[in-house]
Structure 1
Amino acid sequence: MDISAARQPYRAAAAAFFGTMIEWYDFFIYATASALVFGDVFFSNADHFVGTLASLGTFAVGFVARPVGAIVFGHLGDKVGRKRSLIVTLLLMGIATMVIGMLPSYQSIGVMAPILLVVLRLLQGVAVGGEWGGAVLIAAEHAPPKLRTFLAAAPQYGSPVGLVIATSMFAAVSSLPDADFKSWGWRIPFLFSGVLVLAALLIRRSVNESPELEAHRERMAKARHVQEVAPLRNIFARYKTRLLLGMALSMLGISGFYFITTLMITFTTTYLHVARPDILRVGTYTGIVELLSFPIASYIATRIGERRTIAIVAGAAVLWAAPMMMLVMTGNIANIAVGILVATVFIGAYYAVLAPFLPKAFPIDVRYTGISLSFQLCGALFGGTTPLLGLWIAERFGLHWGPLALLFAIIAGATLLGAVLIPHEPQAEGGAESEGNLSASGAASGMTVRNA
Structure 2
Amino acid sequence: MNKIAEERVHITANDTAHIDRSKQQKIAGISSVLGSTIEWYDFFLYGTMAAIIFPQLFFPQHDPYVATLLTFTTYAVGYVARPIGGILFGHLGDKIGRKISLVATLILMGAVTVLIGLLPGYEQIGFYAPILVTVLRFLQGIAIGGEWPGSVLISMEWGTNKNRGFMAALPQIGVPLGLILGTAITSLFINISGDSFQTWGWRVPFIFSIILVVIGLVIRFNLLETPSFQKALNEKELPKLPFVSVFKHYRKQVISGVFSNVSSDIAFGVFAFYTTTYGITFLGLDKSIFVNATLIGAVVAMFTIFTSGYLSDKISPKKILGFGNILLILWALPYFYLLNTKSTGLIFIAVIIAFFIHSIMWAPLAPVIASSFPAHLRFSGSAITFMFRGLIGGGLAPLISTFLLKKFDSGYAISGYIILAALVALFALRYVDIKYQKED
Q: Does TM-score exceed 0.5, indicating one fold? A: yes
Displacement of 1:184 after TM fit? Answer: 0.5
How far 1:177 sits from its partner (Å)? Answer: 6.2
Please give the residue correspondences for 1:117-136 in structure 2 after superposition, counting only pairs within 5 Å: 117-136=133-152
Contact 1:301 1:353 (C-alpha < 8 Å) held by counterparts? yes
Shift in CA distance, 229/46, structure 1 to aligned 2, threshold 3 Å: closer
Which whole-Å deviations, capped at 9, do the CAs of 1:106-151 have from their partners, x for residues lacking one?
A: 1111111111111111110100011101110000011122222222
2:155 match: 139
Alpha-carbon spacing, 1:178–1:389, altered in 2? closer, same or farther (3 Å): farther
1:201 matched to 2:206? The reply is no
2:332 pairs with 1:324: no
Deviation (angstroms), 1:229:
4.8
Higher alpha-carbon deviation: 331-340 or 265-274? 331-340
Please, which of 189, 204, 209 is the counterpart of residue 205 of structure 2? 189
- Whether the 8 Å contact between 1:250 and 1:374 is mirrored in structure 2 is no
Report how many residues are paired. 424
Q: Name the CA distance, whole Å, in 2 between partners of 1:85 and 1:230.
A: 16
- Cα deviation per residue 1:78-131 (whole Å; 9 max; x = unaligned)? 111110001000000000000000111111111111111111111101000111
Aligned-partner Cα distance in 2 for 1:383–1:50: 20
| Separation (CA, whole Å) in 2 of partners of 1:228 and 1:372 | 16
Counterpart amino acid of residue 437 in structure 2? A
Instruction: Indicate yes or no: 2:84 matched with 1:68.
Output: yes
2:421 corresponds to 1:417: no
Residue number in structure 2 paired with 1:447: none
Structure 2 stretches lacking a partner, 5+ long: 1-16
Tell me the amino acid that sits aligned with residue 50 of structure 1: V
> How far does residue 419 in structure 1 lie from its aligned partner after superposition?
2.5
Contact map agreement 1:175 1:277 (CA 8 A) in 2 = no
Q: How does 1:210-225 map to 2 (within 5 A)?
A: 210-220=226-236
Who is 1:167 aligned against?
183
Give the Cα separation in 2 of the matches to 1:228 and 1:404.
Answer: 43
Partner of 1:428: 437
Q: Which residue of 2 aligns with 1:300?
A: 311
Q: Does the 8 Å contact 2:164/2:313 carry over to 1?
A: no
Deviations 1:358-411 (A, max 9, x none): 21111111111111111111212232211011011111111x343111011122
Corresponding residue number in structure 2 for 1:153: 169
Q: Is the 8 A contact 1:9 1:144 kept in 2?
A: no
Instruction: Detail structure 1 runs of 4+ shifted over 3 Å in the superposition.
Output: 1-6, 176-179
| Secondary structure of 2:200's aligned partner | helix
2:124 corresponds, among 91, 108, 118, to: 108
In the alignment, structure 1 segments of 5+ residues that lack a partner are 221-225, 431-451
Asked if structure 1 preserves the Cα contact closer than 8 Å seen for 2:36 and 2:148, the reply is yes
Instruction: Tell me: CA distance 1:233–1:261, structure 2 relative to 1, closer, same or farther (3 Å).
Output: same
Q: Percent identity, please.
A: 33
Query: For the Cα contact (< 8 Å) 2:77–2:395, is it kept in 1?
Result: yes
Select 2:286's aligned residue among 275, 281, 298: 275
- Whole-Å Cα distance in 1 between the matches of residues 21 and 323 of structure 2? 37
- Give the counterpart of 2:93 among 49, 74, 77: 77
Q: Deviation of residue 272 (structure 1)?
A: 0.5
* Residues 65-74 or 103-112, more deviating: 103-112
Give the equivalent residue in structure 2 for 1:251.
262
> Hey, what's the Cα distance between the residues in 1 that align with 2:311 and 2:112?
39
CA contact (8 A) 1:311 1:420 kept: no
- Calculate the aligned-residue CA RMSD, in Å: 1.7
Q: Is the 8 A contact 1:274 1:333 kept in 2?
A: no
